[in-house]
């Protein structure tokens, strides 16, 4: 075979591989971009949830949790959605009567792992409040499970453990 034909065949083979490699790179970047976008949407939803919890916006919170929601604090057994809302009703009365003032509620050290329509979120919650005139500061390590229902992220599970 003539050297020119060998070079031409090699060149044509390279030309056929380049688009595959190029499309593979774009596909990976598009997947990463979609994943990053989904994480941003979920993080915004988590921030919205945390603000609603701080102010005790019960109606908004009802729309942001799953039907089979499970809530566990480090010092108690798991409770159902209904029991958690009973707690929130009491908390809201305390806020409205000024027995409880939430001065800060901040989530930091957020890590998330998104799996299609489900995500596991870990982080640290720091709170400051005044209850019956007494200042309180607390920190918690948390784990949340979020699921996507009808195109919207909802919290399905919560667990915390007190740090201080």
Residue 74: the pLDDT is 86
Residue 1: the pLDDT is 60
| 139: β partners | 126
Domain that holds residue 149: 3-162
CA distance 2 to 128: 81
pTM for this entry: 0.75
If one counts the domains in the chain, the total is: 1
> CB–CB of 82/69 below 8 Å?
no
Report residue 154's pLDDT band, with 50, 70 and 90 as the boundaries: very high
139 Cβ neighbours under 8 A, 6+ residues apart: 124, 125, 126, 127, 162, 163, 164
Residue 75: the pLDDT is 84
- What is the tens place of the pLDDT at every residue in 96-134? 999 999 999 999 999 999 998 999 999 999 999 999 889
Q: How far apart are the first and last CA of the chain?
A: 79
CA distance 33 to 45: 18
- CATH of residue 133: 3.10.450.50
pLDDT > 50? residue 77: yes
- What is the tens place of the pLDDT at every residue in 30-53? 444 556 788 999 999 999 999 999
CA distance 42 to 56: 20
pLDDT > 70? residue 13: no
Specify the range with the lowest mean pLDDT, choosing from 4-8, 81-85, 108-112.
Answer: 4-8
């Amino acid at each position: 075979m003539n050297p020119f034909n060998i070079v031409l065949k090699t060149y044509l083979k390279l030309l056929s591989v380049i688009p595959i490699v190029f499309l593979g790179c774009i596909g990976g970047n598009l997947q990463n971009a979609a994943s990053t976008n989904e994480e941003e949407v979920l993080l915004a939803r988590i921030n919205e949830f945390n603000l609603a919890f701080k102010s005790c916006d019960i109606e908004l919170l009802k729309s942001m949790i799953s039907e089979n929601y499970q809530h566990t604090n480090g010092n108690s057994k798991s409770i159902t959605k209904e029991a958690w809302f009973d707690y929130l009703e009491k908390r809201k009365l305390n806020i409205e009567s000024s027995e409880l003032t939430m001065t800060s509620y901040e989530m930091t050290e957020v890590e998330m792992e998104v799996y299609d329509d489900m995500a596991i979120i870990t982080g640290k919650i720091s709170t400051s409040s005044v209850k019956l005139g007494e200042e309180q500061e607390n920190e918690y390590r948390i784990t949340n499970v979020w699921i996507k229902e009808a195109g919207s992220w909802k919290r399905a599970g919560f667990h915390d453990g007190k740090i201080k």
